[in-house]
Amino acid sequence: MPSSPEPLPTRAALDRLLPLLRSPGGGPGQALLEADGTRIRFVSLRLEAPIRGGVIDLLGGAFAPTFTQRLLDTRLSAWAYDRSRNALAPALGLPRFEEEVSRLADRLALGEGDVVLDVACGHGNFTVEIARRVGPSGLVIGLDIARRMLDRAARRVRDAGLENVVLLRADALALPFADGVLNRVNCAGGLHQLPDLTRAVAELARVTAPGAHVALSGFARPHDAQPSGLRARLGRGPALHVVSLDGLLRTLEDAGFVEARSAMAGATMGYAWAHRGQLMSSVRSPR
């Protein structure tokens, strides 16, 4: 009989992850995997991150989510989103999921062996497809604040038989990575849930190396004018942020990204992509 896959996250994937990490609070503690494989400890800091259900929890109970983030962090909402996302995409004018993945791979210039951070990974649909493209020698780090979404992502990764994925419960506004260690970053459909987009982009700039590629998407409008109609309704009740693509491109360029470009799909979804220029000593994540 074929052997069952190694439990998620695999030791090989963890060994690749640990040198990239810094403590969630920004401290210098080196990350070490405890011998029993159930937690990560940050040396010189009184901080441990448990590994449960295939997810490394770097937030614990101290994180204060927004209303929309809480709404998506239930078993029912995570299930409903997982089941309906691709079916609802045409109503929003989105391309088929397979086409989205193909465009994403081009925009990130994905290749065998790449290490990719998937911010706001949700239920892991893009995480799994990216992991297939970077192959066994690559690594994909799925990051989200919603435990219930990450539970579904862990199930999806296991069902796909992938051993090159690590899932983190962590905050996009305080990424738990050392400076300049990443070369590929994706955030598919999560921009509108980030409470502070400028800070999030500054964090992307901090953790990426010169030449790194980023691809971002979410509910958006092309220009800076105040939204109306459907875009305005999206931004009111659930407190979603309908992103100005023009403003996002300026934010990316101010943070040190170059050749930033954007496109709309339908009336509500916007995409932006760019790559990292030379490191700018003045770029720091706001605190």
pLDDT digits (tens, 9 = 90+) for 22-44: 887 776 667 888 877 889 988 76
Query: Does residue 8 surpass a pLDDT of 60?
Result: yes
- Strand ranges in 152-191 using DSSP code E only, listed in sequence order: 165-169, 182-187
Residue 236 in 3-state DSSP?
helix
d(CA 119, CA 124): 10
pLDDT more than 90, % of the chain: 60
- Asked if 63 and 51 touch (Cβ cutoff 8 Å), the reply is no
Three-class secondary structure of residue 242 per DSSP: coil
Q: Cβ–Cβ contacts within 10 Å for residue 170, how many?
A: 23
pLDDT digits (tens, 9 = 90+) for 256-279: 999 999 999 988 889 999 999 875
**Inter-CA distances, 31 with 64, 79, 164, 177, 270, Å:** 24, 33, 19, 10, 36
**Residue 214 and residue 205 in contact, taking contact as beta carbons nearer than 8 Å:** no
Amino acid at 25: G
**Highest mean pLDDT out of 66-70, 105-109, 145-149:** 105-109
Structure tokens at 160: 């796909």
15: number of CA atoms within 13 Å, CB side? 6
Vertex 125: Cα angle to 154 and 182 (nearest 5): 85
Q: Which domains does the chain have, with CATH numbers?
A: 54-276 (3.40.50.150)
Question: What per-residue confidence (pLDDT) applies to 168?
Answer: 97
Q: Count CB neighbours of 254 within 10 A.
A: 14
Residue 165: the pLDDT is: 98
Strands 139-144, 165-169: pairing is parallel
Report the run of H or E that residue 209 belongs to, with start and end. strand 208-221
Which range has the worst mean pLDDT, 123-132, 133-142, 169-178, 262-271? 262-271
CB 21 within 8 A of CB 179: no
Cβ neighbours of residue 99 under 8 Å, at least 6 residues apart? Answer: none
What is the arithmetic mean of pLDDT over 86-109? Answer: 86
Q: Is omega for the bond preceding 227 within 30 degrees of 0, making it cis?
A: no
The vertex-193 CA angle with 176 and 50, nearest 5°, equals 35
Which has the higher per-residue pLDDT, 180 or 233? Answer: 180
Distance between CA atoms of residues 184 and 142, nearest Å: 12
pTM of the model: 0.88
Taking a C-beta distance cutoff of 8 angstroms, is the pair 255, 204 a contact?
Answer: yes
Per-residue pLDDT averaged across 136-162, rounded? 96
Chain position carrying tokens 């862990």: 154
